[in-house]
Amino acid sequence: MAGAPGQSKAPPQGPNISRTNTSRQEGDRHGRQSETTSVSSQGNVPVQHSPSATAGSTPRAVTPTPTHAQKRRHETTGHTPHRPRPAPGNRSAGVGVGSWSDEQEEDDAMNEELCEGYDEPRIPDANMEIVQGIHSVIAGIRRLEEEGQQPSEDARDAVTELFNILRAHHGMNTTTTPETEKRLQQLEGNVCKILELVQRDTHLTNTGAQSTPPPTNPRAKNTTATGPLYRPTPPAPRNPIHRHHETRLVIQVRGQTNVTTRKFATDRWMAACRSLQHAFPNHKSPINGYQWNASGNVIVFAGDGITADDLQKHAATFVPHLVGANTTWNTVVDRKWWKVQINGIPTDYPTVTGSWEKLRPIDIENTIYATNGWMQGRTMCTQPKWMCSLEDLATKRFASAVVAMVKEEDAREMLERGGLFIHGRFCRTAAYVDIPPLRPCERCWKLDHPTRGCSAKPVCYYCGGEHLSGAHTCAT
């Protein structure tokens, strides 16, 4: 090494790369495949030793040759890795530490060109910063939508910072072209317009300029709709035997009749048809037929082209031929009834003379229309009906009755009002549940029909004999 130790130049900065070589021919950089690599004790970088190196030889500092990837990077981006250069004082002739040769001069000139611009500050990873900038913009827009107008400045600042990052990373710290700069400006302007639209919509939806915090107690997700309930209308029945057919007319028999009249009789049917010839001259058979049901009522089936409403207008003409002349009856068109239960109705009331009489169904109907003005114009299908037998009614002070309305709206109005005034007492209303009681026939003790109108042989409840239970006299 040239010069005294006290006057030697400072060693070159950066990694110390050394190689042991005994000849210039073996030091050629094209024959390095057989060399072994070790680690320097100073810079922790590889130190290459030739297999032919002698023990007394001195390692010589050489200039690393740029790799193919480094050359490619320089061609595209102008950026090359930093490479140390020996001090000018170490360029003395000879082979040793700090020596400099002609071939090394050429290598140094080439590497000096490749390393141009390496000392400039390196730009960090572009992908990570761009992703962070995009996340900042999204977070600002979300705050803008949730909280209101104020956080829009944070979103705008995040957009500006994002495009600064894009400009800095474009071309790896090289000057952007005018076309690229124009595109970046247009893109930034479009994003700012989107922010302004979001800010305007948020301002219109808020009650004021100040941002409103989200509710602390959000509305429960199990809320139910309060609108009217949609109920599909079932199709009209096509078979006249089915209930609610347009040709069915119900004759409710009020008085007691002879048992023989509670059966179909051809002569009675023909007499009823003849009585209607003047009302329906174009129909040979205004009544197709009739039958008695288990409740003791008569179901009349109108002829083709005639409805139950048409027959009801001429009920006084043909009904006596079917149920008898000395029978109390009334007619009802077979429609769907909307029933309401009335509780707490007094079973008796005082008369003008001071005596007490039992309340009849007709009395209930009259007092409902007389003392409840809103019931005017609302039609009942039939008279109210007690929900207990006459025997039980005689022992009760208050009982329940059922009222059937023609329209569903009228029945709903009765339920919403909560009750009706009947003989000075407010009686509560409730929804009627149609569950018929299981009452056997007291004549034959079967379950498929009521006692009234039963023509079967009597059966004693106590002994099973062929006599009524009330005529039981045996010792059983």
Residue 396 CA, distance from chain mean position: 53
Residue 471 has pLDDT above 50, yes or no: yes
Say how far apart CA 266 and CA 269 lie, in whole Å.
5
Say how far apart CA 400 and CA 148 lie, in whole Å.
61
Reported confidence tier of residue 384, pLDDT bands at 50, 70, 90? very high
Both tokens of 423, joined, read: 């003989």
Name residue, tokens 């219109």. 204
If we measure between CA atoms, which residue out of 401, 264, 246 comes closest to residue 333?
246
pLDDT at 62: 47
Question: The sheet that has 287-292: what strands, in order across it?
Answer: 287-292, 298-302, 248-253, 329-333
Say how far apart CA 61 and CA 398 lie, in whole Å.
122
Sign of CA dihedral 431, 432, 435, 439: positive
Average pLDDT over residues 156-167: 66
Sign of CA dihedral 116, 118, 119, 124: positive
Q: Which of 299-303, 354-358, 452-456 has the highest mean pLDDT?
A: 299-303
pLDDT at 107: 67
φ, ψ at 40 (rounded to 5°) = -70, 150
Q: Does 176 or 297 have the greater pLDDT score?
A: 297
Bridge partners, 402 (sequence order): 341, 385
Helix (H) or strand (E) holding 252: strand 248-253
Reported confidence tier of residue 372, pLDDT bands at 50, 70, 90? very high
Beta strands in 293-355 (DSSP E): 298-302, 329-333, 338-346, 348-350
Say how far apart CA 221 and CA 205 lie, in whole Å.
22
Are 111 and 83 in contact, with CB atoms under 8 Å apart? Answer: yes
pLDDT at 105: 67
Are 296 and 452 in contact, with CB atoms under 8 Å apart? Answer: yes
Rg (CA), the chain: 55
Residue 15 has pLDDT above 60, yes or no: no
DSSP code at position 143:
H
Q: Does 277 or 84 have the greater pLDDT score?
A: 277
Both tokens of 432, joined, read: 């009627």
Are 368 and 422 in contact, with CB atoms under 8 Å apart? Answer: yes
Cβ-proximal residues to 376 (8 Å cutoff; 6+ apart), any chain:
369
Average pLDDT over residues 59-71: 49
Mean pLDDT over each residue of the chain, to the nearest integer: 71
Residue 301 has pLDDT above 90, yes or no: yes
If we measure between CA atoms, which residue out of 318, 320, 316, 278 comes closest to residue 302?
318
Reported confidence tier of residue 58, pLDDT bands at 50, 70, 90? very low
Reported confidence tier of residue 308, pLDDT bands at 50, 70, 90? very high
pLDDT at 307: 92
Are 159 and 192 in contact, with CB atoms under 8 Å apart? Answer: yes
φ, ψ at 192 (rounded to 5°) = -65, -35
Cβ-proximal residues to 225 (8 Å cutoff; 6+ apart), any chain:
none
pLDDT at 433: 86
93-145, pLDDT tens digit by residue? 444 444 455 666 666 666 665 555 445 444 445 556 666 666 676 676 666 65
Are 387 and 339 in contact, with CB atoms under 8 Å apart? Answer: no
Reported confidence tier of residue 170, pLDDT bands at 50, 70, 90? low
Instruction: For 87-135, give the DSSP string.
Output: -GGG--SSSSTT---HHHHHHHHHHHHHTTTTTSPPP--HHHHHHHHHH
Say how far apart CA 212 and CA 205 lie, in whole Å.
11
Q: Which amino acid type is present at position 20?
A: T
